[in-house]
Structure 1
Amino acid sequence: MSVKKPSQRLFTQQTILAVAISSLSGLSVAQSDDLQELELEEVITVGTRVAGRTATEASVPVDVINSEALTKNGFTELGQALQTSAPSFNFTRTQVSDGSDLFRPATLRGLQPDQTLVLINGKRRHTQSIFGNQGTVGGGSAGTDMNSIPLTALQSVEVLRDGAAAQYGSDAIAGVINLKLKETVDETTGFVQWGSTAEGDGDTLTVGLNTGFELENDGFLNLSVEYRDFDRTNRADNPLWHQGDAEGEFQSFFYNSMINVAGGELYSFGGVSNRTALGSGFRRAAASAAQNVPQVYPNGFTPNIDNEAQDESFAIGYRRELQSGWHLDSSIVYGQNEYDFASANTINPSIAAEYLANNPDASDADIAANAGPSAGHSASFKFGQTTVNVDLTGEVEWGDSPLYVAVGAEFRDERYSIGQGIPASYSCGSSNGSSSFPSVIDPNVFASCGFQAYPGVSPDAETSTSRDSYALYVDLEKNLSDRWLMSAAFRFEDYQQIGSENAGKISSRYDISDSFAIRGAVATGFRAPSLPQRDYQAYGTNVNNDGTLARAFIASAGSALPKALGVNNLKIETSTSVSLGFVAEWDALTLTVDGYRIQIDDRIGLGSNIGASELQGNQAALDALAATGVAEARFFSNAVNTTTEGVDLVLSYDTDLWEGNLEIALAANYNKTEIDSFNLPAGTTEQQVFSNVSQTFLENGQPSERGSLSLNWSDDKFSSLLRINYFGDTEVDQFAQNHIPIPNTLPTSVVESAVLVDVDFSYDVSDNLTLSVGGNNIFDETPDELASNEVLDIISRGAFRYPLRAVPYGFNGASYYVKASFRF
């Protein structure tokens, strides 16, 4: 095993940057109408409700990333493709955290996944039914599953990098991502792509097809299908362990349509997707008395988590121009996300232990035959959302220029449920009694309960709940002069059982000259606690040294234990944000720089387990804990108040070079989040409400610095892309001393800064066929390997090579691909 020295990494990074800088020399300036990777001249639909505005004309920063830029690399997932083009967007790779083999925490400006609102065609998208584990980026939050959307269906992606709750409602504290579906007709496009890593694993086959048809009365129907089959990668030094991506499949179908009827447009869009992934947990050693049954697994085993995610959505709406010149848009959007978890290559050790306790003379064959199932369903989570909108937009004559007005109302119904697993997935013994049994290996050690890796949900944790909300908003925009644009928005939103909140925003843009403008905004925002945060409850079982069961519990908001500690319910998160920047345009060069500061009060977090010894003096809390029948419990609360500060820079340049066209896009982000204070209920501590692990993930789990430089040169037949991605370092308190108490270990887990280089070469064989070949991370950059005194290295017995959490660019190393794209 070789560890790359810092001097070697520095030399590599300097060489890459030198090549990039030298390639920029000797350029001549020329205008071009070609789309750029971070398009600044395309008409936008977020950040303003005035038709026809472009990104550079807006009073807030908006990036438009076209479909060509999203697909001109080897990435087949939307989240990864966005990360290369929008540095304020982060898509952390995580392993051995429940569900992470399918969903990744997608974040904007370093905030939580559920603090970014995702739209499709300008309409609210539903979120995930599960939240990230404590001890991961985005822990405790259920954001939108970006990877459920196929790249084949997208025309472009708009990224509004500014607080927009006053315009779009809850979850838009960090910003808004709008996914625009294709509307093309009389054209069929598609691709077949195969890729693999430099290690020879992770083979991925992806096939996409899009076609469109004209309908009567200038209508259209656009259809997209996509299929992906991917093998696992493994970077563990011991092949019995698994550190890498899971194997699985992805299938999706999306549509977008419109027909002209009754003087207006009847539109509809939606889609379904299904993904599976077979992930892995930590290996269970053959001699692990609490975890293994050697009669079934004589050499130990690595348990698997069989994940399946299903998404479905359907939108229908009607828009038309009224006689007054105003425009009406009414719509209904339904969406649902379901995650099912099954365990495979696993066992519930307590079942065999109970059988042996009742049959002390049993043979090994008898024990194996009565050890219970080695696979089965563990849990299911489902979240559904129906949103009804009615919007009116128009103009009111006022002075020399009109006042653009938008008013609207929204009703939303949300439903959430948790389903149980099979009895063997959660039980203690086949009888599921009140105590465990001595293991089949060592009578002095008691067998664990439930499936290894992913213990199932028990019947007493099943949940079915719902809530409604409604909102009213007004949005105003006016040119006070030829050079001065002002916008204002106000929104009122009320949530059943939680309460109401107001949000407002004022933004402005002033053109100092034809080529230079300043812009800024002041806004308040909010985010209502999600149903998974409010209503999630789950039981887990640990076994004490004396064989008694130590059951742990996540208590739902508003239940007896949180109430006894002063947490009657989860409150709405509130924010105040300020942004200030400028837009500069000189011929073919466009530069935008925007600084921001976001203060969030009452951020929701999942606390640590609290036992009876920590509740002494609070009899109500002791009684509540005893009533649950568990030894320890934890709960969500509005744990912390934070401040996030940062700067975004986007530069676009277009020039002639070598009888072709060179497009340059530079985007960079600096971002830092700090905890200002804690909201501690009486009788609790910081560690109980928001542990060191959670604190470090919130403040240091995502890179503070990100950058991307893309150089795209093309002529009539040939195009080439060089993209340089920079990731700052991360440092978290996970798999370290404060998480697992092993003495003499390193205090934190660090992922060092890195430069990753991607290339793509494409050739138009004909008007109908393009062949491409390329590589991502071609210099095989990976995190530094674990030191011998890091906890993860110790508990994996040297099998794990790299950190598992807070890895923004993964640990697979270099990968390569070939692609055939067609059009007819």
Structure 2
Amino acid sequence: MKIFRANSLTLAIGLAMGSTTLMAHSAEETSMDKAEQEVETIMVLGTRVSNRTATESAVPVDIITAESLTRGGFTELGQSLQASVPSFNFSRTQVSDGSDLFRPATLRGLQPDQTLVLINGKRRHNQAIFGLNGTVGAGAAGTDMNAIPLIALKDVQVLRDGAAAQYGSDAIAGVINLSLRDSTDVTSGYVQGGTTGEGDGDNYSVGVNTGFDLGDDGGFINLSLEYRDADGTNRAERDIGGSSTIPKDTLSDEVRWSQGNAASEFKSVFYNAMMPVGEFELYSFGGYSNRTALGNGFWRNFDEAAKVVPQVYPDGFLPRIYNEAQDTSVAVGLRGDINDDWQFDISGVYGQNRYDFDSRNTINASIAAEYKVNNPSATDAEIAANSGPTSGYSGGFRFDQTTFNADVTGVVDIGRDAPLYVAFGTEYRSENYEIVAGELASYSCGSTNTGREFDSVMDPEKLADCGFQAYPGLRPDAAGKADRSSYAFYLDIETQLTDDWMLGTALRFEDFSDSGNDLVGKISSRYDISDSFALRGAVSTGFRAPSLQQSAYTAYTTNLGDNGELINSFTATAGSDFPSALGVDNLKLETSKNMSLGFVLNATDDLSLTLDAYRIEIKDRITLGSLLSAEDVAFSADAVAALAATGAEQANYFSNSVNSTTQGIDLIITHKADLFGGDFNTTLAGNLNETEIDSVNAPEGIPEDVALDDEQRSFLTDGQPHERATLTFDYSRNDWRGMVRANYFGETDVTYFGNDHIGLPDGILPTGSFQPTSIVESAVLVDINLEYHFTDSLSFSAGVNNIFDVTPDELGADEPLDFITNQAFKYPVRALPYGFDGITYTAKMNFIF
């Protein structure tokens, strides 16, 4: 089989714009050990080392093997990466619409859409939806990491450095490349089950991977199947909201609220293939995944006249949101040698994400209200029969992306011992975005939807809410399509100035049809002071184009207003009347400057250390603003009128509101030793990270706290831990292998759900004042895993994650969230880096033949 030549210098400048991932394809694998050895020799993102961190590159690169990703008992890629890469964060959030399926994946404390994700070196499409207000990563449509099955992965490489000059838009924080398996003549798989210490959240997953040779010249196809099913968890407690039979301020007979993971199901199939065609290689990869989750909103109390129809729900109800996400992708390309010194790679990649919402156990209170207005003598039974559906389609989002690349890499002899390593190419990308309206009952005011509001069936002094509770349907006037295209050219050059000094440069020009163009560059260098010590660093400029999800999004949702009341809210399209009245007519490019400096120390053959400091300055950073009421924008008559025209009580919009600086340090220490006849490996990895707001881009005449309020500030600066660390001990001897890992998470502190957000009067709390912010305390979670190999083909492992059952501090009476949920919620629900499930148990059987 032909194997393309690869060199760490070539690859440090290669893969730009999704250029080819160069690696050796193994034709045969007969054991898990052999598969692991192949992972250790691959070359991606400028490295070919067996250590966890790429110690021979000019910028920090982590390599996480498939075995490492799956040993902790995790079944989702995002969770596994969080446990392996301290600068990677995978926050949990609750009761925030689509967050039941996706979680924001962030690198170095930035937004999800400021990290570029590749598969086999090719750009992966983003998700069609993003987190809304009050979440980490609000307004950022990143890549859905959990749509990728773990069974399909050979390894993951994480480039922790600004790389927009090499890879294009989104690579401000770094790049994550997912390499698919390419083994043949071997079938491997697993069966895993687990539960929590509370006895809920039962889950199981199965995965199978197999490969076949195609012809006799190295062709192959590798197939992966994975299925996961998980029951929900619930840490809510009995509440004092009352019912038709229980007085208010008296504990309910049962737990009626829900605070925990949604019940979910995941199905996927992926493939990776290559076939020699003459002197070239025709390759293809892709996959399909489908995920569903049944989440929920806040409990609707029996006496909330605007939201409840007592003839249907006499004691109140818990509205449910059924989320469904579908991802489809396929890549096809041709690569090969032009001559002895030059190679080419031509490819096309298509990816699509579909996200849909169904509302369940809900109601549109205005339908019953209209019926009663037209039939004032109607009986309760007649009102119930004419109150409309209690479930239905609330709408959906679509995003697809098509990318074409033409890349060339090679060497140029310049009359010196070391040649120039060159990569250049071009990219064209087309994107489409669509908002799909829900069914009539999901958004209408009454069954006729004539624009009139109606007195509620409970209280004629209050108007009934329009649309489904929890997730009001997307209206036809919000539905629509948007599209754009972009093209780019890049050039990378790298060489050894001396035997010890490497220097690389990159330039990239990219133009977007809807938001402009930019020329960015990067200089990277590494100097080997000795065989064991090297300095490395990079300086670069970068950019990120506003996504279609940001520039074209609009929807009505239900959010918290003053005093913790749920009210109708609206997100306005960029350039529409409301943001225009506040001085924001469009979105423009984010621009960045990235600097890093570090060193690599291989103290002995068994001990290595890397330390890298970084600074990322971002101008015109795009944020989703906080929801503004008429009182908030009273200084602008046009804004008040535009808000009134939406029919919502509060509205927000996207803008380039922030200039920020993020700086930090990454430290990784690895040590190998022989202990009692076995191998004992230790890895300490840590990250210190801090983001500061340099200035606010408030249009003339607009107050800064309208352009960026304290709530947004808190998520940007304190919504993710400033300190993260993992300490892993791995021991193997004969057929046994054990792992102990301690994960440290620093504190988070956000305004959302604190009294600075809710604004409850202190007079209603006899013991003092409400807490101004919501804090999730720092914590150390310890995981243990033990594995035994019965044969070369069969092994069993068991694990306990969070063995000391660590959870955030429980809410006290002085927490606004405790008050507005009638004491139902036990823990905070925002900016949760480690969740609140507590101890979990897993058991897993692995096989290979």
For normalisation by structure 1, the TM-score amounts to: 0.92
Matched residue SS, 1:361 = coil
CA contact (8 A) 1:44 1:53 kept: no
Cα separation, partners in 2 of 1:183 and 1:435, compared to 1, 3 Å: same
Counterpart Cα distance in 1 of 2:844 and 2:262: 23
Is the Cα contact below 8 Å between 1:272 and 1:312 reproduced in 2? yes
| Aligned-partner SS, 2:67 | helix
CA 47–502 in structure 1, closer or farther in 2 if over 3 Å, else same: farther
| 2:514 maps to amino acid | Q
- 1:41-65 CA-to-partner distances (Å, cap 9, x unmatched) read 6543225799x99921110000000
The answer to which of 731-740 and 140-149 deviates more is: 731-740
Partner SS, residue 694 of structure 1: helix
Residue 648 in structure 1 maps to residue 666 in structure 2: yes
Which amino acid letter does the alignment assign opposite residue 213 of structure 2?
A: E
Alignment partner of 2:146: what SS?
helix
What is the aligned partner in structure 2 of residue 224 from structure 1?
224
In structure 2, the residue matched to 1:77 is 76
* Cα distance in 2, alignment partners of residues 115 and 160 from structure 1: 13
Query: Unpaired runs of 5+ in structure 2?
Result: 1-31, 239-254, 763-769
Q: Distance in 1 between matches of 2:33 and 2:549?
A: 44
Match of 1:677 among 695, 700, 712: 695
Q: State the 1:556 CA deviation.
A: 1.5
CA shift, 1:623, in A, is: 6.4
2:836 paired residue number? 811
State whether residues 39 and 64 of structure 1, in contact with CA within 8 Å, keep that contact through their aligned partners in structure 2: no
- Are residue 314 (structure 1) and residue 330 (structure 2) matched? yes
Distance 1:36 1:541, change over 3 A: closer
Q: Secondary structure at the match of 2:98?
A: coil
Change in CA separation of 1:630 and 1:295 when aligned onto 2, cut-off 3 Å: closer
What's the offset of the Cα at 1:539? 3.7
Equivalent position SS for 1:533? helix
Contact in 2 for aligned 1:42/1:54 (Cα 8 Å): no
User: What is residue 242 of structure 1 aligned with on the other side?
Assistant: 258
Q: 2:654 aligns with which of 613, 623, 636?
A: 636
The aligned residue for residue 250 of structure 2 is none
- Deviation of 1:553 after TM superposition, in Å, equals 3.4
Q: Report the secondary structure of 1:191's partner residue.
A: strand
Residue 430 (str. 1) matches residue 447 (str. 2): yes
Deviations 1:16-58 (A, max 9, x none): xxxxxxxxxxxxxxxxx989999996543225799x9992111
Secondary structure of the equivalent of 2:755? coil
Alignment of 1:143 onto 2:168: no
Describe the shift of the 1:36–1:807 C-alpha distance in structure 2 as closer, same or farther (beyond 3 A).
Answer: farther
Q: Which residue of 2 aligns with 1:566?
A: 583
Give the aligned partner of residue 483 of structure 2: 466
2:244 corresponds in structure 1 to none
CA offset at residue 433 of structure 1? 3.0
Aligned length: 788
CA distance in 1, matches of 2:757, 2:605: 55
2:750 corresponds to which of 719, 724, 732 = 732
2:401 paired residue among 380, 385, 403? 385
Q: CA RMSD in A?
A: 2.4
Partner of 2:678: 660
Q: Which digits, 9 at most, give the CA deviation of each residue in 1:203-241, with x for residues without a partner?
A: 011000000111112111000000001000011112211
1:553 counterpart residue number: 570
Question: 8 Å contact 1:44–1:158 — kept in the other structure?
Answer: no
> Are 2:335 and 1:336 aligned?
no
Give distance in 2, aligned partners of 1:632 and 1:431.
25
Moved more, 672-681 or 607-616: 607-616
Determine the C-alpha separation between the residues in 1 that align with 2:147 and 2:230: 15
Q: Quick one: which amino acid aligns to residue 236 of structure 2?
A: A
1:624–1:349 distance in 2 versus 1, CA, 3 Å = closer
Letter in 2 for 1:559: S
Conservation of the 8 A alpha-carbon contact between 1:137 and 1:701: yes
Question: What corresponds to 1:760 in structure 2?
Answer: 785
Trace 1:71-470 onto structure 2 (pairs within 5 A).
71-216=70-215, 217-238=217-238, 239-323=255-339, 325-398=341-414, 399-470=416-487
Alignment match, 2:528:
511
* Aligned residues of 1:41 and 1:56 also touching (Cα < 8 A): no
Aligned counterpart, 1:484: 501
Tell me the CA shift for residue 608 of structure 1: 3.1
Partner SS for 1:648: strand
Code of the residue aligned with 1:64 in structure 2: it is I
* Aligned twin of 2:821: 796
1:695 to 699, 702, 713: 713
Alpha-carbon separation, structure 2, partners of 1:49 and 1:128: 31
Instruction: Report the Cα distance in structure 1 between the residues aligned to 2:40 and 2:536, rounded to whole angstroms.
Output: 17
Q: Find the counterpart in structure 2 of residue 30 from structure 1.
A: none
Q: Please say if residues 53 and 60 of structure 2, whose CA atoms lie closer than 8 Å, have aligned partners that are also in contact.
A: no
- Who is 1:594 aligned against? 612
Alpha-carbon shift at residue 364 of structure 1 (Å): 1.1
Distance of 2:38 and 2:64 partners within structure 1: 6
Opposite residue 320 of structure 1, the aligned amino acid is G
Structure 1 letter corresponding to 2:689: N
CA contact (8 A) 1:552 1:609 kept: yes
Amino acid in structure 2 at the alignment position of 1:316:
V
| 8 Å CA contact retained: 2:42, 2:48 | no
Structure 1 residues 53, 83: closer, same or farther in 2, change over 3 A?
A: closer
1:720 aligns with 2:738: yes
Aligned: 1:710 with 2:728: yes
* 1:773 corresponds to: 798
Contact 2:583/2:702, CA 8 A, preserved across alignment: no
Q: 1:675-709: CA deviations, max 9, x gaps?
A: 11100012322332222111101100000000001
Instruction: Using the TM superposition, name which of 478-487 and 609-618 deviates more.
Output: 609-618
Tell me how far 1:400 sits from its aligned partner: 1.5
Report the equivalent of 2:625: 607
Determine the C-alpha separation between the residues in 2 that align with 1:485 and 1:475: 14
Range moving further from structure 2, 257-266 or 563-572: 563-572
For the residues of structure 2 that align with 1:723 and 1:540, how far apart are their CA atoms?
41
Letter in 1 for 2:98: G
Aligned-partner Cα distance in 1 for 2:843–2:611: 36
Query: In structure 2, how many angstroms separate the alpha carbons of the residues matched to 1:309 and 1:569?
Result: 29
Cα drift, residue 179 of structure 1: 0.3
Task: Check the 8 A contact 1:39/1:63 in 2, yes or no.
Answer: no
The 3-state SS of whatever aligns with 2:551 is: helix
Query: 1-side partners of 2:315 and 2:609: how far apart?
Result: 60
Q: Is the 8 A contact 1:609 1:688 kept in 2?
A: no
Cα distance in 1 for partners of 2:48, 2:440 equals 53
Q: Which moved more, 1:348-357 or 1:508-517?
A: 348-357
What is the distance in 2 between the residues matched to 1:767 and 1:447? 66
Over 3 Å counting, the alpha-carbon distance change for 1:628 and 1:356 in structure 2 is: closer
**Change in 2 beyond 3 A, CA 1:49/1:191:** closer
Alignment partner of 1:459: what SS?
coil
CA contact (8 A) 2:518 2:543 kept: yes
Structure 2 equivalent of residue 22 of structure 1: none
Counterpart in the other structure of 2:252: none
The residue type equivalent to 1:227 in the other structure is Y
Helix, strand or coil for the counterpart of 1:750?
Answer: strand
How far residue 653 of structure 1 moved from its aligned partner, in angstroms, is: 1.2
Q: Is the 8 A contact 1:565 1:682 kept in 2?
A: no
Give the whole-Å Cα distance in 2 for the aligned partners of 1:679 and 1:220: 53
